[in-house]
Chain A
Amino acid sequence: MLTVNGTPVAAQGTVLDACRRAGAEVPTLCHDSRVLPAGHCRMCLVEVDGRSVASCSTPAREGTTVVTDSDALRAYRQDLGELIATEATVQGEAKETLEAFGVTGTRYASRPRARRRDATHPYLRVDLESCILCRLCVRTCAEVQGQYVWAFANRGGAVTPHWGKGTFQNSPCVSCGACVAACPSGAISDVQRDASEDEVETDSVRTTCSYCGVGCQLEVRTAGNRVSHIDGVASSPVNRGHLCVKGRYAHTFARHPDRLTAPLVRKGGVLVEVSWEEALEVVSEGFRKLAPHVAALSSSRCTNEENYLVSKWFRGGFGTHDVDSCARVCHAPSAMGMRLSLGTGAATGSFAGIEKADLLFVCGANVTEAHPIVGARIKQAALHGTPLIVVDPRRTELASMANEHLQLRPGSNVPLLNSLAAVLVEERLVNRFFVDQRTEGYDQLAEFLKAFRPEDTEALTGVPAARVRRAARMYAHAARPMQVHGLGMTEHYQGAEGVRLLCNLALLVGAIGREGTGVNPLRGQNNVQGAADMGCQPDLLPGYQSPKNPDVRALFERVWDRPLPTVDGRTLPRMYEAARRGELKGLYILGENVVQTDPDVKSVLEALTALDFLVVQEIFLSETAQLAHVVLPGASFLEKDGTFTNGERRIQRVRKAIEPPGNARPDWRILLDLMSASGFPQTFRSPEDVMAEVAELVPAFRGVSYPALEPDGLQWPVPSVGHPGTPILHTETFPIGRAELACVPYLPSPSFSEEREDTLLLVTGRILAHYNSGSMTRRGGNDTIHPRDVLSIHPDDAAVRGILEGAPVSVTSVHGEARPVAHLTPDVTPGTLFLTFHHPETHTNFATSDVVDRLTDCPEYKLIPVRVTRR
């Protein structure tokens, strides 16, 4: 214990922590809980046993007496404030802090210096005249984002923060906004916030970001009915106050004039605005007439409650299991592969494991771009010395920091991962105790792997055997090796099987069921986990329960008060096929732009145009919505309530911050209206009521309710009311008893048959500034940061084809043509290409193929033989 102004508090952390716990106010200018204390500003001076010390950087000691206010301290603060004011035009938080402590004016001649200014960046404005030299910009950029954009230059009176040569827009900044949020003086400021300065911020709402499966917590500040700016929630265990360029800045789409504000129905070939009553009538009639030859494609961007309603509506209301979601095109193979091997198709650990792990194994995931906050955490871990193994055909940012980068040929995941396992077996690096106690199939696997010595697979994978051996040894020698993987694993012909091989590796060394270990798929969209949890997949009801199980069936039929269909449902690619054959007649699409995001667009278009009735519920008139018979204007995540489930199975609240524009409505409400109009009325009055029914039907959600999700959400399974959630799965046993070690033979993808002398292998994916079809991120400043899709091509491949940097090129496969511009980079190996799909005019997915994962029908976006020519 120690006392602060007479109040006893525990002697934990720093003196500043103790003061804050005791409720004593101490001014700080250079303190931020996310970075190490630095003691630069000296504003936080307090007296400890009569001596003045900087409280932010002094450990609290037992038995000391702390005083936070005295004449001497006040005089000291005044003097410091005056010195700062001689050199800087202090603004913002720092100004408020100084004023709050009565520090004003200056007795010294002021000598503000001309300092660098910059207004070239869409989100950050720099005016160093206000800089008070706290170094928070340098510290946050290094210690939170790991980007090292800011540094201090010069010494003595000339000292100043700087970002090197050129404009700020051209600096290596990734626009995470951490330094903006940290800078107390207004020297670095938020352009959006500056623009709305005259408007009073009226409200602040905590919600969950919708831009990826990390699920960062946002504090959305609103002014009237618009978002003024967004901050990270510092107390959230997911993002700890950090955000990326999408979460923090890409919210202007919500007020974009392109937003749909009224229902549209096609009349005489054109979409015309109609009333909600008419639209609901047309939709319910349309589907009722065609049932059961109707299907639904639900959205991983929508809430759990909305996904649940879609699943219930089509299965219960129209008697079809043809319900799928966009998880099909990303992580269905993870769910399937992990379910087969381990019994549960979800991440076995938590993001918190990143800091606990003593080795990170990143496989087929470009984490710093696609999951930036997890990426930043991995980067920090690596910078602090955690060894890093990266398996990726590209030299990604993490790959460039890795201790081992296994730069394999696209399509050779299976031989490579088998070889890693083969080394474990051959070099006796297997955890026999774990394998004997908790797994099955070791002997067969050991035998099977004899054919996969790295020396034998070298030619296939392009990875030197010695490196494979080194990586396997590193993985085996770590006490807590943690895997994360992405779509580079799943979007392949052997996607689900590849994921099983990741499970093999973890099982062989016993790296599962403990903190800082496990197999952790990084979910692509914000609620991919939730869409699957809520039964938006044809073969499984909410909670991964099979409609073939009589008990499950009976339960659902009782609660839903409807018979369940008996015919098996179709996955998305099968739905397209059925539509082309005329067997499927009606399709409801919730919030997905399949015409841009699904592979082999030509055949998708054929399917959609063959339908008798297509309904699209959207926020913009997307390329897909333009084909619809009815378009229903839904709400963005900022405009509705519900929950999203992130990649670590954490169910988190989504809260309405602003009203949807015009006559647009929250999607859950539209779904409830559609259900009643089509004769399947529901009693729910809010998303909260929907979650109550989910809790009744799904054992893993039994303890989930909105009050229980306060404040930071819960990680399922939550098997009973009051249960704290489950950060780590499989600690004692697997749901299937023993985990299964899988023998997976290598079956080359049929795509390879399209390879010719002059073809290169195209891998598609995304980049930091944009989100999928880009309908949200293209409508705002992120488009300035990344205005077009570029094709990464190795300079050697480019030279042979006479392609120069920035040249328009045509990328042609047997399916079609994409039209990006070229970017020459050694980050891809010769023979490999990389292309994003964020801009519709690029036509990326005209070139992608119809090959799908053998087990789950997930499309093979990562391996397309193409020809590249100048346009």
Chain B
Amino acid sequence: MSGGPNLPSAQIAGNPPVGEHGALSCGKALKFSPEARKRVDHLLTRYPTKQAALLPTLWEAQREWGWISREAVDHVAEVLELAPAFVWGVVTFYTMYNRAPVGKHLIQFCTSISCHLADAEGVYAECRKRLGDLKPGETSKDGKFTVIEVECLAQCDKAPAVMVNDDDYAVITKDNLDSFLGGLK
């Protein structure tokens, strides 16, 4: 599973300006692909009510479209017979649903204690610099990379730890940063 912005809400890229509240639009109506829909239907058999399947259904949506847009909210709400406002409430309660488009590779730097001691912040900053002076949460021009900071990834023995989409990477330092980035196609 991919991680998501884990910043104070005002800093999250794509978090709409306070006062607007409503998901960003992706510009077109969305509908689960037949395969995704099949997975969702299967999910529904495992929960007592449709509402109970909201979190995993949102994961399906994020897997399908990369982020949770207004249209994704509408579609999930329709599938689960919930109010879109309720779905958006749940999306915004959790930090790992992306509320704006992210790059092909969502690079998540752990900055919790072990990684912090191993200069994770420094590597994090360096990484953003090399990708074109990206701000936290920003996506590179070519749409390939988004770099964010997250809490402990449970790889404290391999600090500084990084996760890219659903995959773990161990001991990413300023020295091996280039080869790490080069490996992400």
Interface residues of A (CB under 8 A from B): 113-117, 148-158, 160, 162-166, 171-172
Cα–Cα, bound, A151→B9 (Å): 18
User: B23 at the A/B interface (Cβ < 8 Å)?
Assistant: yes
User: B19 at the A/B interface (Cβ < 8 Å)?
Assistant: yes
Contacts of B83 in A (CB 8 A): 148-149, 151, 164, 172
Contacts of B82 in A (CB 8 A): 148
A149/B20 in contact, CB under 8 A: no
B9/A165 in contact, CB under 8 A: no
Cα–Cα, bound, A157→B9 (Å): 9
Of the residues A152, A158, A163, A172, contact of B18 by C-beta under 8 Å: A158
30 pairs from A and B in contact (CB 8 Å cutoff): A113-B18, A113-B19, A115-B18, A148-B83, A149-B83, A149-B85, A151-B83, A151-B88, A153-B21, A153-B89, A153-B92, A153-B93, A154-B9, A154-B21, A154-B92, A155-B92, A156-B9, A158-B10, A158-B18, A160-B18, A162-B85, A162-B88, A164-B22, A164-B73, A164-B84, A164-B85, A164-B88, A165-B70, A165-B84, A166-B22
CB distance from B132 to the nearest CB of A (A): 29
Cα–Cα, bound, A116→B18 (Å): 8
CB distance from B96 to the nearest CB of A (A): 13
Interface of A is mostly: loop
CB distance from A385 to the nearest CB of B (A): 10
Cα–Cα, bound, A171→B18 (Å): 19
| Closest 7 pairs (CB-CB, A-B) | A151-B89, A164-B85, A165-B22, A148-B83, A151-B85, A158-B9, A162-B21
Cα–Cα, bound, A150→B89 (Å): 9
Contacts of A166 in B (CB 8 A): 22
Of the residues A116, A156, A172, contact of B21 by C-beta under 8 Å: A116
Whose C-beta in chain A lies nearest to the C-beta of B70? Answer: A165
CB distance from A399 to the nearest CB of B (A): 13
Contacts of B93 in A (CB 8 A): 153-155
Contacts of B70 in A (CB 8 A): 165
B18/A114 in contact, CB under 8 A: yes
The B68-112 residues at the A interface (CB cut-off 8 A) are 70, 73, 82-86, 88-89, 92-93
A162/B18 in contact, CB under 8 A: no
Whose C-beta in chain A lies nearest to the C-beta of B77? Answer: A164
Cα–Cα, bound, A160→B85 (Å): 12
Whose C-beta in chain A lies nearest to the C-beta of B95? Answer: A155
CB distance from A408 to the nearest CB of B (A): 24
Contacts of B10 in A (CB 8 A): 158
Q: Given contacts A165-B70, A172-B83, is CB(A153)–CB(B18) below 8 Å?
A: no
B85/A148 in contact, CB under 8 A: yes
Most chain A beta carbons < 10 A, residue from B20, B73, B84: B84
Cα–Cα, bound, A112→B103 (Å): 35
B22/A162 in contact, CB under 8 A: yes
Cα–Cα, bound, A155→B91 (Å): 10
Whose C-beta in chain A lies nearest to the C-beta of B93? Answer: A155
CB distance from A792 to the nearest CB of B (A): 20
CB distance from B151 to the nearest CB of A (A): 15
Cα–Cα, bound, A589→B73 (Å): 54
B9/A150 in contact, CB under 8 A: no
Whose C-beta in chain B lies nearest to the C-beta of A165? Answer: B22
**19 more CB-based (< 8 A) A-B contacts, given A151-B85, A151-B88, A164-B88:** A114-B19, A115-B19, A148-B82, A148-B85, A148-B86, A149-B83, A151-B89, A152-B89, A153-B85, A153-B89, A153-B93, A154-B93, A157-B9, A158-B18, A162-B22, A162-B89, A164-B22, A165-B84, A171-B85
